[in-house]
Amino acid sequence: MNQPVSGFSKKTKAEKIEWLAENYLQNNSDSIRILKNYWNEDASLQQLHDDFIENTLSNYYLPFGIAPNFLINGDLHALPMVTEESSVVAAASNAAKFWLERGGFKAEVISTEKNGQIHFDFFGSEKDIENFFEEVKPKLRESIQSIEKNMKARGGGLLELSLVDKSHILDGYFYIHASFETLDAMGANFINSCLEQMAHTFEDEAKNYEPFQKKEVYPEVVMSILSNYVPECLVRAEVSCKVEKLTTKHQDGLQFAEKFIRAIEIAKTESRRAVTHNKGIMNGVDALVLATGNDFRAVEAGVHAYAARNSYYGSLTHATIEDGVFTFWIELPLAVGTVGGLTSLHPLTKLAFEILQKPDAKQLMKIMAVAGLAQNFAAIRSLVTVGIQKGHMKMHLMNILNQFNASKEEKNEALEYFKDNAVSHGTVNDFLEMMRS
């Protein structure tokens, strides 16, 4: 039976791998070789990666691809995308090409506020805590002057403070809601530093507040933390064209548009459909979030919370036909940054920003929203026409061939054969067995 290990983080990388091999890998030389094969030959670059997290053993690679031909607000973009899912880049590229000939994408940032809360308990008079908050608010602002100095110089910083009473839901529960503008930074560290400093000031000032002293009832901070739910940090992207411009050799424009809108309405109505619908949107968004070194977990959490903001979980996209014009759009809460974190550290992240022509945070929000809209358009278009599996499994074919250790010749033959035949693990296996026999 394996035993706990102490001081693991202080071991060298070689010692960590040795410990792992002895305890969990049966000293398997192939496993050790795999870990070392993914080390970067450039020692300084490997050290940079080692420093990103604790207890680094190796690197985990994902494909870094490009989806070209995105016309956004009149400018042509190529989108760097990091993902492991076979059809994502292809679908995004197809949607970009489709809309390139129909006016492209339009995007606008609606708002950029981010927020955090100081959560505290108070079991005294509601009037006392309201009066104290109004009195202490200027001191809370003053207490973070040194923290927000540089941010304010650039035009950002703390915007507003408000007291929220939730004691009717949870006995004694209140919080201070703080809104911020963090400009090109995602702002998590900045916001958390401000909140923690204001929390200390809040508690210190409360000790000297006479109404609390008289009743010996004081507010007690539970925690201070930013929120990844950012409905005030919102971006919109859309495409539109006359219905007849949707007509292709494979589809009638009006029939396609009506079926497309029906699919969106189903995703608005049925949460089981909406989850997969929105997951497809995030295929595109996350690929860009990863490529630019942003926090995809934070973005995912905020987006899915926004999808459930009306007390049920529904579609993030919308579509209409009005006066013969088809319009398809999305609104997403996206708190992302172009400075800080990995954005200036990871070499491929820096390259991604170069490919994107060094956007600021607002421009990046627009591009990400467009990526999500394009991904959803491609998915719905497939679903209401040929079905999702035809395109997806074609893209997945190479993965299946690699699983069966197909040779280069076998891959070429398979790619030709499956142009007109259904792809599945079974059919690929049968094909390879036929070739090999």
Residues annotated as part of the active site:
85, 295, 392
Both tokens assigned to 212: 């609390």
Residue for token digits 């067995």?
433
Q: Rg of the chain over CA atoms, in angstroms? A: 27
Residues sharing a CB contact under 8 Å with residue 292, sequence separation 6 or more, in sequence order: 80, 336, 338, 343, 349, 352, 353, 356, 364
The single-letter code of the amino acid at 251 is: Q
- Contact between 282 and 372 under an 8 Å Cβ cutoff? The reply is yes
Burial class (CB in 10 A: 0-12, 13-18, 19+), 404: middle
- The two most distant CA atoms of the chain are separated, in Å, by 92
C-alpha to C-alpha distances, 253 to 245, 256, 324, 384, nearest whole angstrom: 7, 5, 11, 12
